[in-house]
Structure 1
Amino acid sequence: MGSLPQTSTSSLSSREGEGAAVPVHVAMIMDGNGRWARSRNLPVAAGHRKGAEAVQDCVRSAIRQGVRYLTLYAFSSENWRRSAEEVGDLTSLLRFYLRHKLNELHEQGVRLRVIGEPERFEGALREELRRAEAKTASNTTLTLTLALSYGGRADIVQAARRLADQVASGTLASSDITEERLDQALQTSDMPDPDLVIRTSGECRLSNFLLWQSAYAELVFMDVLWPDFGEAEFVQALSHFAGRQRRFGGRPA
């Protein structure tokens, strides 16, 4: 399996569990479905289906390891540039799992929520997402956030516009705009920042994912393609995290 990591630190504190630091919030950039399929002479849709199975394994692993928040980069704002066929395959797969796997998530105590621009998807899928969020709203074992039609820069822009509207209406002075106020205007304001960001497929970049929120996250880049990502890989990434010294800009102890 492959691996390894660059770094920083994160604005979120991790917990201590069973002798090792456990990240409270893990964010995943799930990359490599297409390459996995092409390497097997399969259609890209087969890679996405196998990748969806890896999502289920990842959720189970997160619960077993004691992670409280798991955020998945399921569909970026840039993914709309892909072929209509591939976008259709992705949205059909999402609809299938909402219909057929939601009860399993609910029984596991998973709360499902969505960030991004779900309004860009067709009405039936938006309604499926709304119902899934409502059904699982009271669950507390794990908060699973799907980033759909999401872009980190767009998230910051909408936060800035929200604050600008408050300044224009006279309810906020521009001098009162702080990092904390902008943070509260982001779509992720009701969750902690990620402790750990994992990207599969060997690529070493954030690709416009949780840019503000990941300012102090630990970053782990793994060579494994997303459809082959399982509990062993998840535990390895957590092990890398546990070995990091997180200083949040301070000097080493």
Structure 2
Amino acid sequence: MRPLGAASAGASQAASLVAVPGGGAVPRHVAIIMDGNGRWAKKRFLPRFAGHKAGVDAVRNVTRAARAMGIEALTLYAFSSENWRRPAEEVSDLMGLLRHFIRSDLDELTRENVRLCVIGDYHAFSPDLVAMVDDAIARTAANTGPLLAIALNYGAHAELVLAARRLAERARDGVLDPASIDAAMVEGELDTRDLPPLDLMIRTSGEQRLSNFLLWQAAYAELLFVDTLWPDFDGDALAEAVAAFGVRQRRYGGL
């Protein structure tokens, strides 16, 4: 899989798309801000946990649909660095659902040749959960099929700060000329360096903001905001999003 830094120019990003019959294009890399679990539960007079549980079912459905469509990489915003501000009980519930997802779906991901990776600092989680994530990554590391990236304790500001810090340390140590730093070099320090360029970002629930998610990577991505609450977002909804992407014209500043 080509590192992100290998496609910093508009022409290279345009070439990253996979043509499909009918004149459209399937994005190589789709990212989703999975929003609306709480509102989904509230509408049904259910506790927020029920919404998060239904959200995990949506993850399963959408990841299967993405594989069927030939999407090369799917990145899901599962837990942001700001989500620690939520009530401790809800954070605990989310951690429990992550454990459940790993236990219930890892065999399928392995069988389907999916490679799992994580962006963000998941080592801030409890030791047992860190061990589970490490094991899941290791078990799928040799897989050569679609890539499923889960954003855990992720924030784009922190990602960019750490990238800048690493480059500054190399310059301080004399192994890097500051004048040589370019976009590709920055991209090589990001958590997404092993992913294809981001083509399409979707946010569910009707909110229209990026919420500190993949800010650098979204520079030339197509953005799609849909009203559907995340637990109701399924394979058909993903297909509609991909179809909408397929008719957009991406000029990257050109004509």
Q: Does 1:15 align with 2:18?
A: yes
Q: Matched residues in 1 for 2:179 and 2:11: separation?
A: 26
For 2:97, which of 74, 93, 99 is the aligned residue?
93
| CA separation of 1:191 and 1:173: change in aligned 2, threshold 3 A | same
Give the gaps of 5 or more residues in structure 1.
1-8
Q: Matched residues in 1 for 2:159 and 2:54: separation?
A: 29
SS of the residue corresponding to residue 201 of structure 1 reads: coil
Q: Which residue of 1 aligns with 2:227?
A: 223
SS of the residue corresponding to residue 26 of structure 1 reads: strand
| CA separation of 1:10 and 1:239: change in aligned 2, threshold 3 A | farther
Give per-residue Cα distances to partners, 1:90-133, cap 9 Å, x unaligned.
00000111112110111111111111011110000000000000
| Alignment check: 8 A CA contact 1:10 1:246 kept | no
Matches within 5 A, 1:227-242: 227-242=231-246
Q: Matched residues in 2 for 1:10 and 1:221: separation?
A: 25
**Equivalent position amino acid for 1:47 in 2:** G
Q: Matched residues in 1 for 2:187 and 2:105: separation?
A: 32
Q: Does 1:72 align with 2:83?
A: no
Q: Does 1:168 align with 2:172?
A: yes
Q: Figure out how many residues of one structure are paired with residues of the other and give that number.
A: 243
Matches within 5 A, 1:63-212: 63-212=67-216
Q: What is the deviation of 1:156? A: 0.5
Q: Matched residues in 2 for 1:188 and 1:101: separation?
A: 23
| Alignment check: 8 A CA contact 1:10 1:216 kept | no
**Equivalent position amino acid for 1:224 in 2:** T
SS of the residue corresponding to residue 82 of structure 2 reads: helix
Q: What is the deviation of 1:239? A: 0.6
Give the gaps of 5 or more residues in structure 2.
1-9
SS of the residue corresponding to residue 32 of structure 2 reads: strand
Give per-residue Cα distances to partners, 1:198-221, cap 9 Å, x unaligned.
000000111000000110000011
Q: What is the deviation of 1:183? A: 0.8
Q: What is the deviation of 1:10? A: 9.6
Q: Matched residues in 2 for 1:193 and 1:152: separation?
A: 16
SS of the residue corresponding to residue 220 of structure 2 reads: coil
Q: What is the deviation of 1:149? A: 0.4
**Equivalent position amino acid for 1:67 in 2:** I
Q: What is the deviation of 1:138? A: 1.5
Q: Matched residues in 1 for 2:17 and 2:88: separation?
A: 41
For 1:34, which of 38, 42, 49 is the aligned residue?
38
TM-score w.r.t. length of structure 2 = 0.93
% identical aligned pairs: 52
SS of the residue corresponding to residue 188 of structure 2 reads: helix
Q: Matched residues in 1 for 2:11 and 2:247: separation?
A: 14
| Alignment check: 8 A CA contact 1:11 1:215 kept | no
Q: Which residue of 1 aligns with 2:53?
A: 49
Q: Matched residues in 2 for 1:141 and 1:179: separation?
A: 28
Q: Matched residues in 1 for 2:126 and 2:245: separation?
A: 39
SS of the residue corresponding to residue 67 of structure 1 reads: coil
**Equivalent position amino acid for 1:132 in 2:** A
Give per-residue Cα distances to partners, 1:14-69, cap 9 Å, x unaligned.
11022320100000000000000011110000000000000000111101111000
| Alignment check: 8 A CA contact 1:11 1:248 kept | no
TM-score w.r.t. length of structure 1 = 0.94
Q: Matched residues in 2 for 1:45 and 1:188: separation?
A: 30
